[in-house]
């Protein structure tokens, strides 16, 4: 299978924030904004002890920052009714001037979900619920009247949806299995994968699967953004494997992920005290190196046969 044409839009970099109430959450968010990062993802783990509510934390972050975009990465769908979630996300987007995106997950940690009143679903049912949730959310954000969806997991009936968000919000799916990636290719605006569950070899296979599913659905695969959660550590003592090493290793590996794998969005999920090094040293170097390598590839492709590239 030939890989689809990859998106070559600007790279986006951000941070994935664990909502630990003991951590300096607001200060970290303000640092990310001040450092020029593009995105702040809030992990949604309502069943964990001493964690902040993700939508409430997102609203607080939007109130004390000026430019960074915020999203749940990803919302725990079994505990977030999609119509209510759609209204919350659209409200934050309107009040912030269009600085909100949406990440959705089918559900994990089912013991915790059940403890908080959610239902346990099998893999196929969870994927179907996720697909229905995307439909409900998009209906809610539309300007249509007489909205109705009677699915296997969600029912949504209203005379009129809304409020509409301030901009066209992208819906990212945080999925890792083959059929979940197929779903992302059919219906999502972006795919968000964690490095611990989708290392580079699996990432390459997932990209091909995403492309194929999008093409089969009549979509341009290049329109789907590719996000990667960087679960590693910046360690000046030496390399200890993928995403565990000094800054120069991170620059090399992120450049390869962008140029070789088509990843266009990176969320740093390492130690908050290393956020400045990531944002102010690694990110600019990766942007520069990716620009050089892409320019070199274009020059080589444009050279006539037999002409030095």
CATH number of the structural domain spanning residue 45 = 3.20.20.30
pLDDT tens for 6-18 read 556 689 999 999 9
Q: Is residue 118 part of a domain?
A: yes
Which residues are CB-neighbours of 268 under 8 A, at least 6 positions away?
A: 13, 14, 15, 16, 230, 275, 278, 279
How far is residue 248 CA from its own chain's centroid?
25
Q: Is residue 162 part of a domain?
A: yes
Percent of all residues in the chain with a pLDDT value above 70, rounded to a whole number: 93
pLDDT tens for 212-270 read 999 999 999 999 999 999 999 999 888 999 999 999 999 999 999 999 999 999 999 99
Q: Is residue 1 part of a domain?
A: no
Q: Is residue 257 part of a domain?
A: yes
Q: Is residue 306 part of a domain?
A: no
Q: Is residue 18 part of a domain?
A: yes
Range of the domain at 192: 12-301
Q: Is residue 56 part of a domain?
A: yes
* Crossing angle (nearest 10°) for helices 200-216 and 247-261: 30
Structural domains in the chain (count): 1
- Residue 158 pLDDT: 77
Q: Check if the beta carbon of residue 191 is closer than 8 Å to that of residue 181.
A: yes
- Residue 308 pLDDT: 38
244 three-class SS? strand
Is it the case that residue 302 has pLDDT exceeding 70? Answer: no
* Crossing angle (nearest 10°) for helices 283-302 and 247-261: 40
pLDDT tens for 104-150 read 999 889 999 999 999 999 999 999 999 999 999 999 999 777 778 88
Q: Is residue 130 part of a domain?
A: yes
């Amino acid at each position: 299978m030939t890989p689809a044409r990859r998106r070559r839009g600007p790279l986006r970099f951000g941070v994935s924030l664990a909502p630990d109430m003991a951590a300096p959450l607001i200060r970290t968010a303000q640092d990310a904004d001040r450092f020029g990062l593009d995105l702040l993802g809030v992990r949604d783990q309502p069943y964990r002890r001493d964690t902040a509510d993700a939508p409430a934390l997102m609203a607080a972050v939007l109130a004390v920052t000026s430019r960074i975009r915020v999203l749940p990465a990803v919302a725990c769908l079994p505990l977030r009714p999609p119509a209510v979630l759609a209204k919350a996300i659209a409200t934050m987007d309107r009040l912030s001037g269009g600085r909100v995106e949406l990440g959705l997950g089918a559900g994990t940690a089912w013991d915790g979900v059940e403890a908080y009143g959610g239902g346990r679903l099998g893999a196929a049912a969870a994927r179907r619920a996720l697909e229905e949730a995307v439909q409900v959310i998009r209906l809610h954000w539309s300007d249509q009247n007489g909205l109705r969806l009677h699915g296997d997991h969600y029912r949504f009936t209203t005379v009129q949806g809304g409020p509409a968000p301030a901009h066209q919000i992208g819906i990212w799916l945080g999925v890792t299995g083959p059929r979940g990636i197929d779903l992302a290719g059919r219906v999502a605006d972006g795919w968000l994968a964690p490095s611990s569950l989708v290392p580079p070899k699996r990432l390459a296979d997932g990209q091909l699967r995403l492309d194929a599913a999008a093409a089969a659905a009549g979509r341009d695969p290049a329109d789907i953004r590719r996000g990667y959660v960087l679960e590693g550590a910046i360690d000046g003592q030496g390399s200890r494997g993928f995403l565990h090493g000094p800054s120069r290793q991170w620059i090399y590996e992120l450049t390869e992920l962008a140029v070789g794998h088509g990843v266009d969005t990176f969320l740093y999920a390492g130690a908050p005290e290393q956020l400045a090094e990531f944002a102010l040293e690694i990110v600019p170097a990766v942007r520069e190196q990716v620009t050089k390598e892409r320019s070199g590839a274009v020059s080589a492709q444009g050279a006539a046969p037999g002409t030095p590239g």
